[in-house]
Amino acid sequence: MQNNLHNLATLLYIDTAGEKAMVGISKDAQLLAYAENTTANTHASFVQVAIEKMMADSDITLQALDAIVVTLGPGSYTGLRVGLASAKGIAYALNKPLIGLSTLALLANHASKNKIMLDGEDEMQVFSMIDAKRMEVFGAIYDVHQKNILPEQAIILDTDYLEKLLQKGPVVCVGNGATKTKTLLNNPHLYFIESTYSIENLIELAMVKWNAKQFENIAYSSPSYLKDFYQAPSK
């Protein structure tokens, strides 16, 4: 994926989709400020405080922002609601555009920088996957150019599914769902990248959307859960 940076911008990033929350500010595609939170169930209290501190430390006002960037999922139900609510509130109050990013597309972008991909074949498939408990993942498949070839969906992992994928070409599994995929099949054309995306991946994909003016509808944008949330009744 080529970057087109002719339209430069100052962007605020909010990602609370996973176990680690990230907030950051970039200007002209360069990271100016960054903070993260790794304490479970505290993303809601972390986001606003971290943003205020970053803005003060980097000497940037909220009005100087050109757009707000947020991850739409899939990921943690609670985390996605927290991140999108914060991003929407800021975008609406400032009358700024909202840019939404897929966590699975971010994983594919992360994989594209890996040596496995750089040394790989044109038929290589990137299987972005986020753990959804048991043998299920939230997944999507991309080609070597990060073009989506299988839409985001909930997927039950088994050997048959992986073997059918491998018939089309080598497969790179990326994300926290890759760990349990390792236990299913031993194949020389099945690769694993168990690390996740970073703020740099958010910056790259956000700039692509900024240049293309691909913005979310602030009133109607919603998290990408991929499946209904079920909460067991209290005893």
Q: Does domain 104-193 have CATH number 2.60.40?
A: no
What pLDDT score was predicted for residue 6?
55
Q: What is the pTM of this model?
A: 0.92
> What are 115-134's pLDDT values in tens digits?
999 888 889 999 999 999 88
- Closest by CA to 108, choosing from 39, 185, 171, 19, is 171
Q: What is the mean pLDDT of the chain?
A: 92
What ranges do the domains of the chain cover? Answer: 10-103+197-212, 104-193
Helices 43-58, 77-94: crossing angle, 10 deg rounding: 40
Asked which of 2-11, 58-67, 181-190 is least confident by mean pLDDT, the reply is 2-11
**CB-based burial, 130-149: b 16+ in 10 Å, e otherwise:** bbbeebbbbbbbbebebebe
User: CA-CA distance, 224 to 204, in Å (whole number)?
Assistant: 20
> What are 83-102's pLDDT values in tens digits?
999 999 999 999 999 999 99
Q: At residue 232, does pLDDT exceed 60?
A: no
Q: At residue 19, does pLDDT exceed 70?
A: yes
- φ/ψ region of 67 (left if φ > 0, alpha if ψ in -120 to 50, else beta) reads beta
Decide whether 10-103+197-212 matches 104-193 in CATH topology: yes
What pLDDT score was predicted for residue 121?
83
Q: What is the CATH number of domain 10-103+197-212?
A: 3.30.420.40
Rounded to a whole number of angstroms, the CA Rg of the chain reads 18
